[in-house]
Amino acid sequence: MTENAPDSSKVADAYDEITTVVAKLWNGNLHYGYWDDENDQSTFGQALDRMTDEVISRLDPRPGQRILDVGCGTGSPALRLARRQEVEIVGISISPRQIEVAAEGAREAGVDDRVRYEVADAMSLPYPDDSFDGVMALESMVHMPDKVQVLREIARVLRPGGRVSIADLTVHEVSAQERYNSAGASSTEETYTMARFDEYGDLLEKAGLIPIEITDAMQNTRRSIRYFIEGALSCRDEYVKAIGVKEFEKRVEEARKIEHTPELGYALVSARNPD
């Protein structure tokens, strides 16, 4: 594990604290949205669904396949996939509270016969080799201290020729990588470690995966930060109850600082296992 790398228990605790609040916002989506360009007038909700669709399209799922959702959050992306394709989905998170909310959502949507959620650590997946036809990871890789290890685990459980689709926050400069990964603010302390955008191909290849596409979509996603701030402020009392006023104010201030920084990237990645 790298210095200042995320502690999985701290990541779980962080999401347990805010899951109930976030589940009320943005239809339970915990990720960035996607807009075509600055003239795109889509709402945040529409942009969130679009981001999910971007990840799903790169996964290219087929009816009857078995898909693993690494870092499933409260389950909304998996439910959107289940509504689009007759696939079986296993979503995992290290947050027990997220799994509770996700499982309830699957039952309410009537798809719990083919969508289930489990507490599991992506660093050591509890599944046999060749268990899945596809794997998606929507903004969960940023919490993984050893990305090659996670990608190797993904490659191990992925069947030959299976596809991987990843959306991941990244940085473009070594200095920025060191700064963000050192976690100066408590909202990211020991919960984030960002890869450099230009090293993603090497990470995939070290894990034995074959890169298909690596695109920086930060310009399509940056507007999300403003909505995250607005959403947090709209639920201020509930956030403060969950994490305390000092921590809440730090998180909002941090979001405001990074809203316009040019150092951040957003990688949309697709790869496949060798045949």
Q: Which tokens is 112 given?
A: 């719990």
3-state secondary structure of 200: helix
Per-residue pLDDT tens digits for 78-116: 999 999 999 999 999 998 989 999 999 999 999 999 999
Cα–Cα distance list, 263 to 63, 191, 223 (Å): 39, 19, 15
- Mean pLDDT calculated for residue range 240-267: 84
- Mean pLDDT calculated for residue range 152-175: 93
Enumerate helices (H) and strands (E) in the chain, giving the number of each. 11, 8
Facing residues of 67 across strands? 89, 134
Estimate the crossing angle of helix 44-59 against helix 224-234, to 10 degrees: 130
- Residue 253 is predicted with a pLDDT of 87
Helix (H) or strand (E) holding 132: strand 132-138
CA distance 19 to 8: 16
Per-residue pLDDT tens digits for 20-45: 666 667 777 879 999 999 999 999 99
For residue 185, pLDDT over 60 is answered with no
- Mean pLDDT calculated for residue range 184-198: 63
Q: Using CA of residue 120, residue 126, residue 130, residue 131, what is the dihedral sign?
A: negative
- Residue 1 is predicted with a pLDDT of 39
Domains identified in the chain and CATH numbers: 8-273 (3.40.50.150)
Listed residue (56, 70, 187) closest to 120, CA to CA:
70
Residues in the chain: 275
- Mean pLDDT calculated for residue range 244-253: 86
- Residue 215 is predicted with a pLDDT of 97
Listed residue (102, 63, 58) closest to 84, CA to CA:
63
Question: Tell me, what amino acid is at 57?
Answer: S
Per-residue pLDDT tens digits for 129-159: 999 999 999 999 998 889 999 999 999 999 9
- Residue 260 is predicted with a pLDDT of 76
Gyration radius from the chain CA atoms: 17
pTM of the model: 0.87
Question: pLDDT tier at 251 (50, 70, 90 boundaries)?
Answer: confident
- Mean pLDDT calculated for residue range 253-275: 89
- Range among 83-92, 171-180, 227-236 with highest mean pLDDT value: 83-92
- Residue 250 is predicted with a pLDDT of 86
